[in-house]
Amino acid sequence: MVYLSLCIHNHQPAGNFDFVLKDAYKQSYWPFLKILSRYPSIKLTLHNSGYLLDWIAKNRPEYIELLGKMVARGQVEVLGGGFYEPILPVIPDEDRLGQIGLMSERIELMLGKKPRGMWLAERVWEPTLPTTLKAAGIEYIIVDDHHFIKSGVSPEKLCGYYLTEDRGNVVKVFPGSELLRYLIPFRTVDEFEGELKKISDNDDVSGIIYGDDGEKFGVWPGTYKLVFEDGWLESFFERISSLDWIKTLTLSEYVEAEEPQGRVYLPTTSYMEMGEWSLPREASEAYSELNKAMENEEGGELVRRFLQGGTWRNFFSKYSESNWMHKRMLQVSSRISALRAKATAVENLAEAEEALYRSQANDAYWHGVFGGLYLPHLRTEVYRSIIEAETLIGTQPLGSAIKIEEADLDADGYDEVVLRSAELSLFVSPRNGGGLFELDYLPAGLNLCNTLTRWEEAYHSRVEELCKEGTDDGDGTKSIHDLVSAKEEGLEEHLIVDSCRRAAFKDHFLSINENLDDFSRNVHSTLSDFHTSPYNVEKAKKGLLLEREGSVAGAAVKVAKSIEGVGGHSFKVDYAVECSGGSKEQEAPGSVLFGIEMNLILPCCDGPACFYNIEPTELGSLEVGLGSKGAIDGVERVRLVDEHTGIVISIDLDRAVSLWRYPIYTVSLSESGFEKIYQGSCLLFLFPFELKSAVKEELSMLVRVEKFEGE
């Protein structure tokens, strides 16, 4: 007799599009549960993440009704977890307990049973977690057998469950089988039975554990036809039901039926693919190549046992946008924690906590085979939640007051400065070109600088090969880890890598002969490092003064920019660019271009509801989409309009300038293939500047963010 414990994890990220949830429910969650309900002898452990569970309860109550019946008759055990699927090790202890407690309460309220075990988001394990889990009332979790192999457990002993502890706090840990993850549902039921028979022949193995995503049953490309239309799932359940040497158990039943296999101490790790994705491009490619080489090398499997790759936290160093969001979330968590510690009741604290937990949803903080960080709407939801929490606890000043804060928010060793008004928050990094890295419009809960840098990815070489050779889908249904396809042509044209993180009010000196195409592709020649180097900063009553002196093509130049709040939803940026002449070693080149770069994004991205309104032009006012590219001279006003959400960003200049604009597209990997994604729009305001003594040019920009009332 072999015990088989099947564990299914269904998840949708907070902020995902409603149509995505509807499709996933129709294609996977509901048909899976209905078919399972027809096989009452099949025991299964199920996890629906909190955001998805709430959506189902509100929109598809028949699922909760059927699930409740299956729970009551003991066929299904429901797992808990962090409600919004946070990566537990990277959020504060208080929030870990809050997230797990919220999920347990919601499950008990809906289904009448408090969960004993939990699903660990992305199986990200760190050795101190048992203390948290024990305090949260969690008895067991499931991770991958990969975790156990990396701790030295022999692959032949990966069955049942083990005990682990931190400072005497004991939890049970199940190793999910990699073999079964790649068999189910991508191989035939006969192949599954054959592999399980081999396992059953081993007298030392009492059971095997399967734990994986429910989306592979209908949502992943090609799986709906395989699993439901072609009858794979019913055949699978039929076969298991007919075999008298297999007995299915929920994970709790397994704990009751069997003794632990022993004690284990798991290393800091996640599943195998995460170790590859979290590494920088060069290291990621090397790790992947080594893994593949060892698959066919004699003795290679022994080497693979000890290949680790990177850890999940690497994403904070790989993507500065991920790190910034994470540290902003921690800032809010710290403020809420301070309010919790007060003896008196704090208004709106419960709502602020919920918003904080929502901002900890893991999906927007990393990227692998799923879109994750590369999906603007997921980043938007994180910022919306952060801003909502801050608003609820009264972070902003009232009326016309301006609040200035200074702290090292992103843990880079240097202070950032925050200007807060009643409706806006501006986050400035003097260290990084004096740029504006976050512009929050509180009434809509939006970060309008939520752009993404065009990063170099290991899979970009596969995009180049694919564009040369064409898509090869091969035969049969593949795991998403094996899919290679392009969702559109011409992706190779967008494989562009930026030199630094995108922001607003980055300052450039360019050759007078520079052009938009080269600048947009980041192959232009730069005459200075003002856009990346530190600025000195002084705080004023209503804002900041940022200054830097540097060399531009041999000439000594000073740039001063003041940022001042002038109203609840407006701020002004005044520039003064001054030259004191050429150097003794070389003659200054004369005229150059001074450019002010702004990177902005609206909720509807480059959709039809979003457009520029630019004036004046030769044709008067010009309206073009945010996905357009072009150069216009004599511009005095630009508006970025989102008619769908009713938001407009207005930029008024006190002198006519040239405007270069282009969309920022990235090429990223998703479960359905490679795709181009709009990450924001870059605007570069330009005017000529003479590199000779006693020249001073000034420019004033008034930026307003407000509700758009239409024409």
- Nearest CA among 321, 370, 419 for reference residue 221: 370
Phi–psi pair at 525, nearest 5 degrees: -95, 130
**Rounded to 5°, angle at Cα 647 from 642 and 652:** 95
Marked catalytic residue, from 193, 213, 412, 549: 213
Taking the C-alpha atoms of residue 45 and residue 67, their distance in angstroms, rounded to an integer, is 11
Token look-up 């200075």 returns 528
- Do the beta carbons of residue 516 and residue 662 sit within 8 Å? yes
Angle between helices 93-111 and 349-359 (to 10 degrees): 100
Marked catalytic residue, from 95, 122, 354, 675: 122
Token look-up 């075990």 returns 117
Question: What is the DSSP secondary structure assignment for residue 305, as one 8-state letter?
Answer: T
Consecutive H or E run containing 207: strand 207-213
Taking the C-alpha atoms of residue 502 and residue 661, their distance in angstroms, rounded to an integer, is 14
Rounded (10°) CA dihedral 127, 131, 136, 139: 70
Token look-up 């899979």 returns 459
On the 0-12 / 13-18 / 19+ scale of CB atoms within 10 A, 643 is middle
Identity (one letter) of the amino acid at 22? K
Among this protein's residues, is 213 annotated catalytic? yes
- Do the beta carbons of residue 566 and residue 588 sit within 8 Å? no
Q: How many helices (H) and strands (E) does the chain have?
A: 21, 27
Identity (one letter) of the amino acid at 460? H
- The number of CA neighbours under 13 Å toward the Cβ of 99 is 34
Consecutive H or E run containing 698: strand 695-707
Phi–psi pair at 661, nearest 5 degrees: -140, 145
Active site residues: 122, 213
